[in-house]
Structure 1
Amino acid sequence: MSVFRTERGIDRLVNFSDATVAIAITLLILPLVDAGSDVGRLTLGQFMDEHFWEVIAFVVSFVVIARFWLVHHRVFDWLAAYTVPLLWLNFLWLATIVFIPFTANVLSSSEGQQPAVYALYIGNMLIATVTMQAMGMYIQRKPGVALEEALPAMDATRGWSTSLLMALALVLAVTVPSVGMWWLFVLFLSEPVHRLLRAVFARTPSGTDA
């Protein structure tokens, strides 16, 4: 597969991705904008109580998209070149990002404790996480795609730790819906899980993923 090295091509790829993420993260606020007309007839406390799930869905989804963008920014900062497969992986990742506002709206409208809704919401995030992991590994393993000076900084175990915890959050949210989206807090365990995976890979001769 051909490797493309034009600086303009990489800039267009990154700028297009950034713009798409910016639009998606902005769309998250629209349900609260529509609900803003209720402020005149409700106190702030009443508004927060009546629109609790919309607020929570916005805050959580905003943080999630911001985190996804930070990882994307870090991974694409490694690029020296790109290929067609990498472009399509990036399009798949962007599709999951633009889908988040929809899943967040479904979540806020359901008002909790619906396994199918949690499966849709967290499942989409899991696909985004795994796709980003695939892009990172592709960039590292495809000759000529990664900057030589970036190779030592690449660490696939960090991405796998997040993917595993996101999958765990999905399973827990579906099986124990009373906790629901709060299972996403297991992602705070990513650092200790990352250290554990690094220790395991360090003991394995083939554990050289970056």
Structure 2
Amino acid sequence: MNAPSDRPSHPDPASVYAYDSHEFGRGVTFFDAIYAFSATLLITNLDAPEPAAWRSLQGLSEAGIGTQLFGFALSFVVIAVFWRTNVRMMRNLTGLDRPTTAINLLAAGLVILIPFTTQGISDPATQDYALPTALYALNIMLAALAQIALGWVGQHRGLNRVTPIGRERTAALVNAWLTPTVFAVSIPVTLAFGPAAGQWTWLTVAVAQLPLARYHRRHPAAVAST
């Protein structure tokens, strides 16, 4: 029996929408629209305060508008980062076939859920519960894992233009796995110590991204497939 090969498989060209094809362009437009719609849906989590609350900043703060704006801003940045990552990954593909399209749809579907889980962490009535923060972290973790799967399947199917090696591969893996790992760790932290502790854990991503960003500016190939 022959040992399984680690070399990428090559799909039937007839089943692949090439990068310069009309179908590939339609796919990119469709996914871009999903990310844009998800970001727009975040506005539905902002509830207009009672008229009396508009008399002062203190009144607006007591009405919970600060918490809602924090949830809006956080998730807007998160969705923008997911969109930017998707743009990079689509540029790195020579085409789309059924597996890559299916995984991209899964990632997009998980991004669509972000406005829903954002409601739990931004609503003053539920923000102090651990479960909303844990579900939000789970949502982000799964969306990040889906994008990792897209890069892996693209490589396995022989559709990636660039596959980093050596130090660039290590940097790419660290960059890709940082977000799902931190958000996965934040779930037990949240359940054990409360939502504030879990949300502070998320800052690890921003802190760790600083040296990674400097490395990626010097080695752009390390970002191409992540």
Shorter-chain TM range is 0.7 to 0.9
Q: Which runs of 5+ in 2 are unaligned?
A: 1-10, 214-224
Paired residue total: 193
Which segment is superposed worse, 121-130 or 40-49?
Answer: 40-49
Q: 1:193 to 1:118 in 2, by over 3 A?
A: farther
Say which of 193, 196, 200 aligns to 1:182: 200
CA contact (8 A) 2:86 2:147 kept: yes
Q: TM-score, normalised by structure 1?
A: 0.80
For residues 107 and 158 of structure 1, what CA distance do their matches in structure 2 show?
26
Residue type of the partner of 1:159? A
CA contact (8 A) 2:103 2:146 kept: yes
Q: Does 1:73 align with 2:87?
A: yes
Alignment of 1:74-113 (within 5 A): 74-109=88-123, 110-113=125-128
For residues 207 and 41 of structure 2, what CA distance do their matches in structure 1 show?
29
Q: 1:38 to 1:185 in 2, by over 3 A?
A: farther
CA contact (8 A) 1:136 1:156 kept: no
Say which of 176, 182, 189 aligns to 1:165: 182
How far 1:182 sits from its partner (Å)? 2.8
CA contact (8 A) 2:140 2:180 kept: no
Q: TM-score, normalised by structure 2?
A: 0.75
- Aligned to 2:93, the other structure's residue is in SS state coil
| Corresponding residue for residue 220 of structure 2 | none
| Corresponding residue for residue 203 of structure 1 | none
Q: 1:8 to 1:53 in 2, by over 3 A?
A: same
Q: Does 1:14 align with 2:28?
A: yes
CA contact (8 A) 2:154 2:160 kept: yes
Q: Which runs of 5+ in 1 are unaligned?
A: 196-208
Alignment of 1:1-210 (within 5 A): 1-2=11-12, 3-6=15-18, 7-32=21-46, 34-35=47-48, 38=51, 41-50=54-63, 51-109=65-123, 110-143=125-158, 145-147=159-161, 150-152=162-164, 155-177=172-194, 178-191=196-209
How far 1:36 sits from its partner (Å)? 5.7
Identity %: 24
For residues 38 and 186 of structure 1, what CA distance do their matches in structure 2 show?
39
For residues 34 and 84 of structure 2, what CA distance do their matches in structure 1 show?
14
How far 1:37 sits from its partner (Å)? 6.0
Which segment is superposed worse, 96-105 or 107-116?
Answer: 107-116
Residue type of the partner of 1:48? S
CA contact (8 A) 1:162 1:190 kept: no
